[in-house]
Protein backbone atom coordinates (compact mmCIF):
# COMPACT_ATOMS: atom_id res chain seq x y z
CA UNK A 1 0.00 0.00 0.00
CA UNK A 2 1.79 3.10 -1.26
CA UNK A 3 0.78 6.70 -1.78
CA UNK A 4 0.62 9.06 -3.50
CA UNK A 5 -0.17 7.34 -6.77
CA UNK A 6 0.00 3.77 -5.47
CA UNK A 7 -2.70 3.59 -2.83
CA UNK A 8 -4.74 0.40 -2.69
CA UNK A 9 -8.01 1.99 -3.76
CA UNK A 10 -6.84 4.82 -6.01
CA UNK A 11 -7.64 4.52 -9.70
CA UNK A 12 -4.55 4.30 -11.88
CA UNK A 13 -6.32 3.09 -14.99
CA UNK A 14 -4.73 2.02 -18.24
CA UNK A 15 -3.01 -1.15 -19.27
CA UNK A 16 0.67 -1.78 -18.64
CA UNK A 17 2.74 -4.16 -20.73
CA UNK A 18 6.33 -4.13 -19.61
CA UNK A 19 5.83 -0.44 -18.84
CA UNK A 20 4.08 0.42 -22.13
CA UNK A 21 0.43 1.35 -22.51
CA UNK A 22 -1.80 -0.98 -24.54
CA UNK A 23 -5.52 -1.26 -25.25
CA UNK A 24 -7.23 -4.63 -25.04
CA UNK A 25 -9.76 -5.63 -27.62
CA UNK A 26 -13.19 -6.93 -26.77
CA UNK A 27 -13.91 -10.59 -26.14
CA UNK A 28 -13.83 -12.79 -29.20
CA UNK A 29 -13.49 -16.46 -29.88
CA UNK A 30 -9.84 -17.42 -30.10
CA UNK A 31 -7.71 -20.51 -30.16
CA UNK A 32 -5.53 -21.83 -27.39
CA UNK A 33 -2.06 -20.47 -26.68
CA UNK A 34 0.87 -22.00 -28.57
CA UNK A 35 2.83 -24.81 -26.96
CA UNK A 36 6.16 -26.08 -28.17
CA UNK A 37 8.29 -29.02 -27.15
CA UNK A 38 11.13 -27.70 -25.05
CA UNK A 39 13.58 -29.05 -22.57
CA UNK A 40 12.88 -25.96 -20.48
CA UNK A 41 9.41 -26.10 -18.85
CA UNK A 42 9.44 -22.32 -18.52
CA UNK A 43 9.72 -21.84 -22.32
CA UNK A 44 6.97 -24.18 -23.56
CA UNK A 45 4.41 -21.38 -24.01
CA UNK A 46 6.75 -18.82 -25.62
CA UNK A 47 4.83 -16.43 -27.85
CA UNK A 48 1.75 -16.35 -25.61
CA UNK A 49 0.17 -13.07 -24.46
CA UNK A 50 -1.55 -12.97 -21.07
CA UNK A 51 -3.79 -10.29 -19.57
CA UNK A 52 -3.56 -9.75 -15.79
CA UNK A 53 -6.32 -7.61 -14.24
CA UNK A 54 -5.40 -6.15 -10.87
CA UNK A 55 -6.30 -3.51 -8.38
CA UNK A 56 -3.54 -0.89 -8.23
CA UNK A 57 -1.42 -2.41 -5.48
CA UNK A 58 2.22 -2.06 -4.53
CA UNK A 59 3.24 -5.54 -5.80
CA UNK A 60 1.54 -4.92 -9.14
CA UNK A 61 3.29 -1.58 -9.54
CA UNK A 62 6.65 -3.22 -8.86
CA UNK A 63 5.98 -6.15 -11.20
CA UNK A 64 4.71 -3.88 -13.98
CA UNK A 65 7.96 -1.93 -13.80
CA UNK A 66 10.05 -5.12 -13.96
CA UNK A 67 8.42 -7.57 -16.37
CA UNK A 68 11.59 -8.03 -18.41
CA UNK A 69 12.88 -10.99 -16.38
CA UNK A 70 9.60 -12.90 -16.84
CA UNK A 71 9.59 -12.28 -20.59
CA UNK A 72 13.19 -13.45 -20.82
CA UNK A 73 12.46 -16.54 -18.73
CA UNK A 74 9.31 -17.61 -20.57
CA UNK A 75 8.91 -15.75 -23.85
CA UNK A 76 5.45 -14.72 -22.61
CA UNK A 77 4.13 -11.16 -22.86
CA UNK A 78 1.95 -9.89 -20.00
CA UNK A 79 -0.45 -6.95 -20.22
CA UNK A 80 -1.28 -5.62 -16.76
CA UNK A 81 -4.66 -3.87 -16.45
CA UNK A 82 -5.06 -1.85 -13.24
CA UNK A 83 -8.45 -0.62 -12.05
CA UNK A 84 -10.20 0.62 -8.95
CA UNK A 85 -11.56 -2.41 -7.10
CA UNK A 86 -15.26 -2.00 -7.86
CA UNK A 87 -14.52 -1.58 -11.58
CA UNK A 88 -12.26 -4.63 -11.46
CA UNK A 89 -15.01 -6.72 -9.86
CA UNK A 90 -17.48 -5.74 -12.59
CA UNK A 91 -15.07 -6.64 -15.39
CA UNK A 92 -14.13 -9.96 -13.78
CA UNK A 93 -17.79 -10.89 -13.26
CA UNK A 94 -18.62 -10.16 -16.89
CA UNK A 95 -15.54 -12.01 -18.14
CA UNK A 96 -16.24 -15.11 -16.08
CA UNK A 97 -19.88 -15.11 -17.21
CA UNK A 98 -18.82 -14.88 -20.85
CA UNK A 99 -17.32 -18.35 -20.83
CA UNK A 100 -14.09 -16.98 -22.26
CA UNK A 101 -11.01 -15.48 -20.64
CA UNK A 102 -10.10 -12.00 -21.74
CA UNK A 103 -8.26 -11.83 -18.40
CA UNK A 104 -6.40 -15.04 -17.73
CA UNK A 105 -4.83 -13.89 -14.45
CA UNK A 106 -7.10 -12.26 -11.87
CA UNK A 107 -6.48 -10.26 -8.72
CA UNK A 108 -8.92 -12.21 -6.57
CA UNK A 109 -10.11 -10.03 -3.70
CA UNK A 110 -11.34 -12.62 -1.16
CA UNK A 111 -14.65 -10.88 -0.52
CA UNK A 112 -15.65 -9.42 -3.87
CA UNK A 113 -14.11 -11.94 -6.27
CA UNK A 114 -13.11 -15.17 -4.55
CA UNK A 115 -16.21 -15.70 -2.41
CA UNK A 116 -18.86 -14.95 -5.05
CA UNK A 117 -16.96 -16.33 -8.06
CA UNK A 118 -14.79 -19.21 -6.78
CA UNK A 119 -16.45 -21.58 -9.27
CA UNK A 120 -15.02 -19.42 -12.03
CA UNK A 121 -11.42 -19.83 -10.81
CA UNK A 122 -9.01 -22.69 -11.47
CA UNK A 123 -7.76 -24.93 -8.66
CA UNK A 124 -4.08 -24.02 -8.52
CA UNK A 125 -3.12 -27.30 -6.85
CA UNK A 126 -3.74 -29.12 -10.13
CA UNK A 127 -1.40 -26.80 -12.02
CA UNK A 128 1.25 -26.83 -9.31
CA UNK A 129 1.33 -30.63 -9.35
CA UNK A 130 1.26 -31.01 -13.14
CA UNK A 131 4.59 -32.75 -13.94
CA UNK A 132 4.85 -30.77 -17.18
CA UNK A 133 4.83 -27.46 -15.32
CA UNK A 134 7.25 -25.93 -12.81
CA UNK A 135 6.19 -25.95 -9.18
CA UNK A 136 4.58 -28.14 -6.55
CA UNK A 137 1.61 -27.74 -4.24
CA UNK A 138 4.00 -28.62 -1.41
CA UNK A 139 5.53 -25.18 -2.01
CA UNK A 140 2.28 -23.58 -0.83
CA UNK A 141 3.41 -24.31 2.73
CA UNK A 142 5.89 -21.43 2.39
CA UNK A 143 3.05 -18.90 2.40
CA UNK A 144 1.97 -17.44 5.75
CA UNK A 145 -0.78 -19.93 6.73
CA UNK A 146 -3.48 -17.43 7.66
CA UNK A 147 -2.88 -15.63 4.36
CA UNK A 148 -3.09 -18.78 2.23
CA UNK A 149 -6.42 -19.64 3.83
CA UNK A 150 -7.95 -16.16 3.82
CA UNK A 151 -6.72 -15.17 0.36
CA UNK A 152 -6.78 -18.52 -1.40
CA UNK A 153 -9.50 -20.87 -0.21
CA UNK A 154 -13.27 -20.96 -0.28
CA UNK A 155 -14.90 -24.07 1.12
CA UNK A 156 -13.66 -27.25 2.74
CA UNK A 157 -12.71 -29.22 -0.36
CA UNK A 158 -9.05 -28.26 -0.08
CA UNK A 159 -8.97 -26.30 -3.33
CA UNK A 160 -6.65 -23.30 -3.61
CA UNK A 161 -8.02 -20.65 -5.97
CA UNK A 162 -5.41 -17.93 -5.41
CA UNK A 163 -1.90 -17.52 -4.00
CA UNK A 164 -1.24 -14.75 -1.45
CA UNK A 165 -0.08 -11.70 -3.35
CA UNK A 166 -0.34 -8.73 -1.00
CA UNK A 167 -0.91 -8.62 2.74
CA UNK A 168 -1.81 -5.18 4.17
CA UNK A 169 -2.55 -5.60 7.85
CA UNK A 170 -3.72 -3.04 10.41
CA UNK A 171 -1.26 -2.36 13.22
CA UNK A 172 -0.47 0.42 15.69
CA UNK A 173 1.54 3.32 14.19
CA UNK A 174 2.90 5.71 16.82
CA UNK A 175 5.28 8.64 17.04
CA UNK A 176 8.09 6.88 18.84
CA UNK A 177 10.00 10.15 19.26
CA UNK A 178 7.09 11.73 21.14
CA UNK A 179 6.43 8.65 23.25
CA UNK A 180 10.12 8.61 24.26
CA UNK A 181 10.15 12.35 24.91
CA UNK A 182 7.15 12.23 27.25
CA UNK A 183 7.46 8.66 28.54
CA UNK A 184 8.30 9.44 32.17
CA UNK A 185 5.69 12.17 32.52
CA UNK A 186 3.02 10.07 30.81
CA UNK A 187 3.80 7.10 33.07
CA UNK A 188 3.49 9.31 36.17
CA UNK A 189 0.20 10.79 35.00
CA UNK A 190 -1.36 7.61 33.62
CA UNK A 191 -0.07 5.05 36.10
CA UNK A 192 1.37 2.75 33.41
CA UNK A 193 4.21 2.73 30.90
CA UNK A 194 2.78 4.17 27.66
CA UNK A 195 5.25 2.40 25.34
CA UNK A 196 3.29 -0.21 23.34
CA UNK A 197 3.70 -3.80 24.50
CA UNK A 198 1.75 -7.05 24.18
CA UNK A 199 0.03 -6.10 27.45
CA UNK A 200 -1.26 -2.71 26.27
CA UNK A 201 -5.05 -2.51 26.19
CA UNK A 202 -7.50 -0.44 24.18
CA UNK A 203 -8.51 1.35 27.39
CA UNK A 204 -4.87 2.36 27.83
CA UNK A 205 -4.72 3.46 24.19
CA UNK A 206 -7.72 5.71 24.90
CA UNK A 207 -5.99 7.13 27.99
CA UNK A 208 -2.82 7.84 26.00
CA UNK A 209 -4.86 9.62 23.33
CA UNK A 210 -6.49 11.83 25.97
CA UNK A 211 -3.09 12.61 27.49
CA UNK A 212 -1.76 13.90 24.16
CA UNK A 213 -4.94 15.94 23.70
CA UNK A 214 -4.61 17.60 27.09
CA UNK A 215 -0.96 17.67 28.08
CA UNK A 216 1.19 18.55 25.08
CA UNK A 217 1.25 20.86 22.07
CA UNK A 218 3.48 18.55 20.02
CA UNK A 219 0.45 17.27 18.11
CA UNK A 220 -3.11 18.49 17.82
CA UNK A 221 -4.68 15.14 18.78
CA UNK A 222 -3.57 11.89 20.34
CA UNK A 223 -5.24 9.57 17.85
CA UNK A 224 -6.86 9.57 14.43
CA UNK A 225 -9.00 7.02 12.62
CA UNK A 226 -10.24 6.06 9.15
CA UNK A 227 -13.88 6.62 10.11
CA UNK A 228 -15.36 7.99 6.89
CA UNK A 229 -18.66 6.39 5.82
CA UNK A 230 -16.70 3.97 3.67
CA UNK A 231 -15.11 0.51 3.75
CA UNK A 232 -12.36 2.05 5.89
CA UNK A 233 -14.81 2.56 8.78
CA UNK A 234 -15.67 -1.14 8.80
CA UNK A 235 -11.95 -1.97 8.81
CA UNK A 236 -11.21 0.38 11.71
CA UNK A 237 -14.16 -0.73 13.84
CA UNK A 238 -13.59 -4.44 13.25
CA UNK A 239 -10.33 -4.37 15.23
CA UNK A 240 -12.27 -3.18 18.28
CA UNK A 241 -15.19 -5.55 17.63
CA UNK A 242 -12.99 -8.65 17.56
CA UNK A 243 -10.87 -7.44 20.51
CA UNK A 244 -14.04 -7.28 22.62
CA UNK A 245 -15.03 -10.82 21.67
CA UNK A 246 -17.69 -9.73 19.19
CA UNK A 247 -17.97 -10.88 15.60
CA UNK A 248 -20.14 -10.61 12.54
CA UNK A 249 -21.25 -14.25 12.66
CA UNK A 250 -20.80 -17.24 14.90
CA UNK A 251 -17.66 -19.23 14.15
CA UNK A 252 -16.22 -16.04 12.71
CA UNK A 253 -12.62 -17.23 12.53
CA UNK A 254 -13.59 -20.23 10.39
CA UNK A 255 -15.76 -18.09 8.12
CA UNK A 256 -12.93 -15.59 7.77
CA UNK A 257 -10.34 -18.22 6.88
CA UNK A 258 -12.33 -20.71 4.80
CA UNK A 259 -15.53 -18.88 3.91
CA UNK A 260 -19.19 -19.83 3.85
CA UNK A 261 -22.24 -19.44 1.63
CA UNK A 262 -24.62 -19.56 4.61
CA UNK A 263 -22.88 -17.97 7.62
CA UNK A 264 -25.91 -18.25 9.91
CA UNK A 265 -27.45 -15.46 12.00
CA UNK A 266 -25.56 -12.19 12.36
CA UNK A 267 -24.08 -11.64 15.84
CA UNK A 268 -23.75 -7.85 15.76
CA UNK A 269 -26.70 -7.45 18.10
CA UNK A 270 -24.96 -9.47 20.83
CA UNK A 271 -23.79 -7.89 24.07
CA UNK A 272 -20.09 -7.99 23.17
CA UNK A 273 -20.66 -6.30 19.82
CA UNK A 274 -22.68 -3.55 21.49
CA UNK A 275 -19.90 -3.09 24.08
CA UNK A 276 -17.41 -2.78 21.24
CA UNK A 277 -19.56 -0.15 19.54
CA UNK A 278 -19.87 1.79 22.80
CA UNK A 279 -16.10 1.78 23.21
CA UNK A 280 -15.54 2.76 19.59
CA UNK A 281 -17.84 5.75 19.97
CA UNK A 282 -15.92 6.77 23.09
CA UNK A 283 -12.62 6.40 21.22
CA UNK A 284 -13.77 8.53 18.28
CA UNK A 285 -15.02 11.20 20.69
CA UNK A 286 -11.40 11.96 21.68
CA UNK A 287 -9.90 11.40 18.21
CA UNK A 288 -9.17 14.10 15.65
CA UNK A 289 -12.67 15.22 14.57
CA UNK A 290 -11.55 15.03 10.93
CA UNK A 291 -11.38 11.25 11.37
CA UNK A 292 -14.99 11.01 10.24
CA UNK A 293 -13.90 12.37 6.84
CA UNK A 294 -10.81 10.15 6.48
CA UNK A 295 -10.15 6.82 4.84
CA UNK A 296 -6.75 5.09 5.12
CA UNK A 297 -4.86 7.41 2.76
CA UNK A 298 -6.14 10.53 4.50
CA UNK A 299 -5.27 9.07 7.90
CA UNK A 300 -1.76 8.20 6.76
CA UNK A 301 -1.26 11.72 5.42
CA UNK A 302 -2.46 13.28 8.69
CA UNK A 303 -0.10 11.09 10.69
CA UNK A 304 2.88 12.01 8.52
CA UNK A 305 1.94 15.69 8.72
CA UNK A 306 2.37 15.58 12.51
CA UNK A 307 -1.31 16.17 13.26
CA UNK A 308 -1.79 13.02 15.42
CA UNK A 309 0.44 10.99 17.72
CA UNK A 310 -0.81 7.51 16.79
CA UNK A 311 -3.37 5.57 14.80
CA UNK A 312 -4.37 2.09 13.67
CA UNK A 313 -3.51 1.83 9.98
CA UNK A 314 -2.25 -0.58 7.32
CA UNK A 315 1.33 -1.63 7.88
CA UNK A 316 2.43 -0.93 4.31
CA UNK A 317 2.36 2.80 5.02
CA UNK A 318 5.66 2.23 6.82
CA UNK A 319 7.69 3.14 3.74
CA UNK A 320 5.84 6.46 3.38
CA UNK A 321 6.21 7.15 7.11
CA UNK A 322 9.95 6.60 6.89
CA UNK A 323 10.30 8.92 3.90
CA UNK A 324 8.68 11.81 5.81
CA UNK A 325 9.44 10.98 9.48
CA UNK A 326 12.69 9.00 9.28
CA UNK A 327 13.47 7.19 12.50
CA UNK A 328 10.54 8.77 14.33
CA UNK A 329 7.79 6.16 13.92
CA UNK A 330 7.29 2.90 15.80
CA UNK A 331 5.01 -0.05 15.07
CA UNK A 332 3.27 -2.54 17.33
CA UNK A 333 0.52 -5.07 17.32
CA UNK A 334 -2.84 -3.43 18.04
CA UNK A 335 -3.91 -3.18 21.69
CA UNK A 336 -5.83 -5.96 23.39
CA UNK A 337 -9.48 -5.75 24.33
CA UNK A 338 -11.22 -7.80 27.01
CA UNK A 339 -10.75 -10.95 24.87
CA UNK A 340 -7.73 -10.52 22.58
CA UNK A 341 -5.73 -8.34 20.23
CA UNK A 342 -7.21 -8.37 16.72
CA UNK A 343 -5.39 -6.96 13.69
CA UNK A 344 -7.40 -6.63 10.51
CA UNK A 345 -5.87 -8.59 7.61
CA UNK A 346 -6.72 -7.07 4.24
CA UNK A 347 -4.64 -9.10 1.79
CA UNK A 348 -5.59 -10.56 -1.57
CA UNK A 349 -4.37 -13.32 -3.87
CA UNK A 350 -3.98 -13.85 -7.60
CA UNK A 351 -5.68 -16.67 -9.43
CA UNK A 352 -6.48 -17.97 -12.89
CA UNK A 353 -9.77 -17.88 -14.76
CA UNK A 354 -11.32 -21.32 -15.15
CA UNK A 355 -12.36 -20.21 -18.65
CA UNK A 356 -8.77 -20.45 -19.84
CA UNK A 357 -7.93 -23.13 -22.40
CA UNK A 358 -5.35 -25.79 -21.41
CA UNK A 359 -2.19 -24.20 -22.82
CA UNK A 360 -3.32 -20.71 -21.86
CA UNK A 361 -3.93 -21.98 -18.33
CA UNK A 362 -0.44 -23.42 -18.20
CA UNK A 363 1.05 -20.11 -19.32
CA UNK A 364 -1.01 -18.27 -16.70
CA UNK A 365 0.32 -20.64 -14.04
CA UNK A 366 3.87 -19.75 -15.02
CA UNK A 367 3.07 -16.10 -14.33
CA UNK A 368 1.24 -16.73 -11.04
CA UNK A 369 4.05 -19.00 -9.87
CA UNK A 370 6.70 -16.44 -10.86
CA UNK A 371 4.85 -13.37 -9.51
CA UNK A 372 4.47 -14.93 -6.04
CA UNK A 373 7.91 -16.55 -5.94
CA UNK A 374 10.53 -15.91 -3.29
CA UNK A 375 12.83 -14.21 -5.81
CA UNK A 376 10.19 -11.81 -7.12
CA UNK A 377 8.93 -10.94 -3.64
CA UNK A 378 12.49 -10.03 -2.70
CA UNK A 379 12.82 -7.86 -5.82
CA UNK A 380 9.50 -6.20 -4.96
CA UNK A 381 10.87 -5.27 -1.55
CA UNK A 382 13.82 -3.57 -3.21
CA UNK A 383 11.70 -1.84 -5.87
CA UNK A 384 11.55 1.92 -6.08
CA UNK A 385 8.33 1.62 -8.10
CA UNK A 386 6.22 0.23 -5.27
CA UNK A 387 7.07 -3.08 -3.72
CA UNK A 388 5.06 -4.66 -0.98
CA UNK A 389 5.51 -6.98 1.96
CA UNK A 390 6.29 -10.65 1.33
CA UNK A 391 3.65 -13.31 1.76
CA UNK A 392 6.24 -16.12 1.94
CA UNK A 393 7.88 -17.02 5.22
CA UNK A 394 11.18 -17.88 3.53
CA UNK A 395 11.67 -14.28 2.40
CA UNK A 396 11.67 -13.05 5.99
CA UNK A 397 14.49 -15.47 6.82
CA UNK A 398 16.88 -13.98 4.23
CA UNK A 399 19.78 -12.14 5.92
CA UNK A 400 19.30 -8.91 3.97
CA UNK A 401 15.57 -8.89 4.79
CA UNK A 402 16.23 -9.52 8.47
CA UNK A 403 18.75 -6.67 8.43
CA UNK A 404 16.13 -4.37 6.85
CA UNK A 405 13.97 -4.67 9.97
CA UNK A 406 16.42 -2.25 11.63
CA UNK A 407 17.28 1.30 10.65
CA UNK A 408 18.79 2.39 8.35
CA UNK A 409 16.61 0.19 6.15
CA UNK A 410 16.77 -0.25 2.40
CA UNK A 411 13.34 -1.93 2.61
CA UNK A 412 11.37 0.37 4.95
CA UNK A 413 8.18 -1.69 4.95
CA UNK A 414 10.22 -4.27 6.85
CA UNK A 415 10.36 -1.91 9.82
CA UNK A 416 6.83 -3.10 10.60
CA UNK A 417 7.75 -6.79 10.22
CA UNK A 418 7.83 -7.69 13.91
CA UNK A 419 4.38 -6.18 14.46
CA UNK A 420 2.81 -7.93 11.46
CA UNK A 421 4.36 -11.28 12.35
CA UNK A 422 2.51 -11.04 15.65
CA UNK A 423 -0.62 -9.84 13.86
CA UNK A 424 -0.60 -12.89 11.56
CA UNK A 425 -0.59 -15.37 14.42
CA UNK A 426 -3.96 -17.17 14.37
CA UNK A 427 -4.94 -15.83 17.79
CA UNK A 428 -4.30 -12.22 16.68
CA UNK A 429 -5.53 -12.24 13.08
CA UNK A 430 -8.69 -10.27 12.34
CA UNK A 431 -10.61 -11.72 9.42
CA UNK A 432 -13.80 -10.24 8.03
CA UNK A 433 -16.43 -12.74 6.82
CA UNK A 434 -15.60 -14.36 3.49
CA UNK A 435 -19.12 -14.67 2.15
CA UNK A 436 -20.59 -14.01 -1.33
CA UNK A 437 -22.76 -11.14 -0.08
CA UNK A 438 -20.05 -9.35 1.89
CA UNK A 439 -20.04 -6.17 -0.18
CA UNK A 440 -23.64 -5.40 0.79
CA UNK A 441 -22.98 -6.35 4.41
CA UNK A 442 -19.97 -4.04 4.46
CA UNK A 443 -22.18 -1.15 3.37
CA UNK A 444 -24.71 -2.02 6.06
CA UNK A 445 -22.20 -1.97 8.92
CA UNK A 446 -20.35 1.20 7.93
CA UNK A 447 -23.66 2.99 7.32
CA UNK A 448 -24.88 2.14 10.81
CA UNK A 449 -21.55 3.01 12.41
CA UNK A 450 -21.63 6.37 10.65
CA UNK A 451 -25.12 7.02 12.03
CA UNK A 452 -23.81 6.20 15.50
CA UNK A 453 -20.81 8.51 15.21
CA UNK A 454 -23.05 11.31 13.94
CA UNK A 455 -25.27 10.93 17.01
CA UNK A 456 -28.28 9.76 15.00
CA UNK A 457 -28.44 6.38 16.77
CA UNK A 458 -27.01 4.78 19.88
CA UNK A 459 -24.59 1.82 19.82
CA UNK A 460 -27.24 -0.78 20.63
CA UNK A 461 -29.67 0.51 18.01
CA UNK A 462 -26.93 0.74 15.38
CA UNK A 463 -25.73 -2.79 16.00
CA UNK A 464 -29.25 -4.25 16.05
CA UNK A 465 -30.11 -2.53 12.77
CA UNK A 466 -26.87 -3.71 11.19
CA UNK A 467 -27.61 -7.27 12.32
CA UNK A 468 -31.12 -7.08 10.87
CA UNK A 469 -29.75 -5.90 7.52
CA UNK A 470 -27.05 -8.59 7.52
CA UNK A 471 -29.65 -11.31 8.04
CA UNK A 472 -31.76 -9.97 5.17
CA UNK A 473 -28.75 -9.85 2.86
CA UNK A 474 -27.34 -13.26 3.69
CA UNK A 475 -30.75 -14.92 3.50
CA UNK A 476 -31.16 -13.60 -0.01
CA UNK A 477 -27.66 -14.75 -0.91
CA UNK A 478 -28.27 -18.22 0.50
CA UNK A 479 -31.45 -18.65 -1.52
CA UNK A 480 -29.65 -17.49 -4.69
CA UNK A 481 -26.78 -19.92 -4.09
CA UNK A 482 -29.19 -22.87 -3.87
Q: What is the mean pLDDT of residues 389-416?
A: 95
Lowest-pLDDT range of 14-28, 223-237, 242-256, 276-290: 14-28
Percent of the chain whose predicted confidence (pLDDT) is above 70: 92
Query: What is the distance between the alpha carbons of residues 461 and 277, in angstroms, rounded to a whole number?
Result: 10
Radius of gyration of the chain (CA): 22
pLDDT at 348: 97
If pLDDT is split at 50, 70 and 90, which confidence band does 476 have?
confident
pLDDT at 9 over 80: no
pLDDT at 22: 37
pLDDT at 477: 67
pLDDT at 225 over 90: yes
What would the pLDDT profile of 423-474 be if each residue is shown by its tens digit?
999 999 999 999 999 999 999 999 999 999 999 999 999 999 999 999 999 9
pLDDT at 6 over 80: no
Q: What is the mean pLDDT of residues 371-381?
A: 95
Do 170-344+433-481 and 15-168+347-397 have the same topology in CATH? yes
Q: What is the mean pLDDT of residues 187-212?
A: 98
- CATH 1.10.3720.10 matches 15-168+347-397: no
pLDDT at 383: 86
pLDDT at 84 over 70: yes
pLDDT at 219: 98
What would the pLDDT profile of 310-335 be if each residue is shown by its tens digit?
999 999 999 999 999 999 999 999 99
Domains of the chain: which residue ranges?
Answer: 15-168+347-397, 170-344+433-481
What would the pLDDT profile of 24-82 be if each residue is shown by its tens digit?
444 445 689 999 988 899 999 999 999 999 998 889 999 999 999 999 999 999 999 99
List the CATH code of the domain at 170-344+433-481. Answer: 3.40.190.10
pLDDT at 29: 57
If pLDDT is split at 50, 70 and 90, which confidence band does 202 have?
very high
Lowest-pLDDT range of 208-212, 263-267, 409-413: 409-413
pLDDT at 479 over 80: no
What would the pLDDT profile of 147-193 be if each residue is shown by its tens digit?
999 999 999 999 999 999 999 999 999 999 999 999 999 999 999 99
What's the mean per-residue pLDDT of the chain?
92
Percent of the chain whose predicted confidence (pLDDT) is above 90: 89
If pLDDT is split at 50, 70 and 90, which confidence band does 5 have?
very low
pLDDT at 14: 36
pLDDT at 384: 79
Amino acid sequence: MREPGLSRRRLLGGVLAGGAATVLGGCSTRGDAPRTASGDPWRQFAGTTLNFISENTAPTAAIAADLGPFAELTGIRVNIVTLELSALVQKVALDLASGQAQYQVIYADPYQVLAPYSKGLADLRELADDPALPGSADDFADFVPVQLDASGRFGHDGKVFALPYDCPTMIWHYRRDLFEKHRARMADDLGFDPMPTDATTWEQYLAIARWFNDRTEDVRYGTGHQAKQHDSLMCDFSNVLWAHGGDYFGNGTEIGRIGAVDPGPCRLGDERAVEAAEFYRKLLAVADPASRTWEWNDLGAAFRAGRIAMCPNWHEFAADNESVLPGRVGYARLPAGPVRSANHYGGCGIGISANTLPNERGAAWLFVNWATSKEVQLRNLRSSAGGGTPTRGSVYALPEVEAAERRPSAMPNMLAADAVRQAWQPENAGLRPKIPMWNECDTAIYTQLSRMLAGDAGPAESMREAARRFDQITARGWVAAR
